[in-house]
């Protein structure tokens, strides 16, 4: 009921002040409520070597577990942080991979208060170039941001991408947010206008699946049929457009995809 109550309040403002209501809605959409590490999570992250990088006014926290083989970059999703990769990191360590994780803007130990996938993609670019990354694994919006990044920069040295429960397009994410909040048509239209003003494109332009058509990097898509956050059809959309990729379907791991089975699929793909 809380989203509906907030949505009702923003809709009421939108009757007379639609631009103000749209700014409120986008700010709410872009502000993570969770994602800061707990003490227990920080204890694990402290086992890595830490390095801060920067993009514009964002201080990006990175974590390195050193190895001799290829460098793997881990990009977490919304309201999360680098600790979410603990099980996968421990699964990869015995194979001597060089493992990097980053905290997204406004998440974990990185700076900022607002988040969007385009900003995240620029941070991924900074980290990928700094550490000479070979493979990127992105969960949820981290997967979408990874596609945005490789579509824009087309770094030839990146060999593989892994997309875990990734949304195939921004419009769908924004649409589900509008539905959850029960925004009126008036407020919804002004949200779209604000996106156009800030990012020079309408929401439907940011189509990660379509962008993946031009990505030559070998890809692995893993998505759970019972994902309650990002619909399974998004995986099918990626699978159709991302020609140099394969889709693995799971059942019962929901959106988090935390499981030994998924970790093994990832390891097999990287080792191949």
* Tens of pLDDT, residues 84-139: 999 999 999 999 999 999 999 999 999 999 999 999 999 999 999 999 999 999 99
227 and 159 both lie in a single domain: yes
Supply the pLDDT for residue 141: 98
At residue 245, the pLDDT reads 97
Does the structure show a pLDDT above 90 at 3? Answer: no
The C-alpha atoms of residue 228 and residue 187 are separated, in whole angstroms, by 26
Residue 219 belongs to a domain with what CATH number? Answer: 3.40.50.1820
Cβ contact 63:82 at 8 Å: yes
| Number of domains the chain is built from | 2
- Do 179 and 102 lie in one domain? The reply is no
Q: Is the pLDDT of residue 68 over 90?
A: yes
Residue 39 inside a domain? The answer is no
Domain encompassing residue 264: 44-167+214-271
**In 3D, which of 32, 20, 24 has the Cα closest to residue 76?**
32
Residues 199 and 238 in one domain: no
Residue 34 burial (CB < 10 Å; 0-12/13-18/19+)?
exposed
- Whether 261 and 163 map to the same domain: the answer is yes
pLDDT tens column, 89-101: 999 999 999 999 9
Indicate whether 148 and 111 sit together in one domain: yes
pLDDT of the residue at 2: 87
Whole-number Å distance between alpha carbons of 224 and 106: 27
What pLDDT digit, counting tens, does each position of 10-30 carry?
Answer: 999 999 999 999 999 999 999
Structure confidence by residue, pLDDT tens digits, 165-186: 999 999 999 999 999 999 999 9
> pTM for this structure?
0.95
Q: Taking 90 as the threshold, does the pLDDT of residue 4 lie above it?
A: no
Residue 38 included in any domain: no
Give the span between the Cα atoms of 239 and 236, in whole angstroms: 5
Two tokens, residue 224: 């759970």
Residue 40: the pLDDT is 96
Same domain, 84 and 133: yes
Whether 106 and 227 map to the same domain: the answer is yes
Task: State yes or no: pLDDT of 1 exceeds 90.
Answer: no
**Domain final residue pick, 206, 230, 263:** 206
Structure tokens at 13: 């403002």
Same domain, 106 and 149: yes
Q: Is residue 113 domain-resident?
A: yes
Element (H, E) at 154: none
């Amino acid at each position: 009921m809380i989203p509906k109550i907030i949505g009702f309040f923003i809709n009421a403002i939108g009757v007379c002040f639609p631009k103000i209501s749209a700014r409120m809605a986008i700010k709410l959409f872009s502000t993570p409520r969770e994602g800061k590490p707990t003490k227990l999570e920080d204890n694990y992250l402290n086992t890595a070597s830490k390095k801060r990088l920067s993009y514009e006014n964002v201080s990006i926290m990175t974590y390195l577990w050193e190895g001799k083989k290829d460098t793997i970059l881990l990009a977490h999703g919304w309201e999360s942080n680098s600790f979410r990769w603990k099980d996968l990191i421990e699964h990869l360590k015995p194979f001597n991979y060089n493992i990097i994780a980053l905290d997204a803007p406004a998440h974990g130990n990185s700076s900022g208060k607002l988040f969007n996938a385009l900003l995240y993609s620029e941070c991924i670019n900074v980290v990928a170039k700094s550490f000479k990354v070979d493979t990127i694994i992105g969960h949820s919006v981290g997967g979408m941001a990874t596609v945005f990044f490789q579509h824009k920069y087309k770094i030839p040295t990146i060999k593989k991408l892994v997309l875990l429960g990734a949304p195939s397009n921004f419009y769908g994410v924004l649409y589900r947010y509008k539905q959850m909040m029960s925004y009126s048509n008036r407020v919804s239209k002004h949200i779209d206008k604000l996106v156009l003003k800030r990012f020079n494109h309408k929401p439907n332009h940011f189509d990660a699946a379509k962008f993946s058509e031009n990505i030559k990097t070998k890809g692995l898509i893993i998505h759970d049929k019972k994902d309650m956050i990002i619909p399974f059809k998004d995986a099918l959309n990626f699978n159709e457009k991302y020609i140099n990729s394969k889709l693995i379907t799971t059942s019962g791991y929901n959106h988090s995809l935390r499981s030994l089975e998924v970790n093994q699929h990832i390891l097999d793909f990287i080792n191949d």
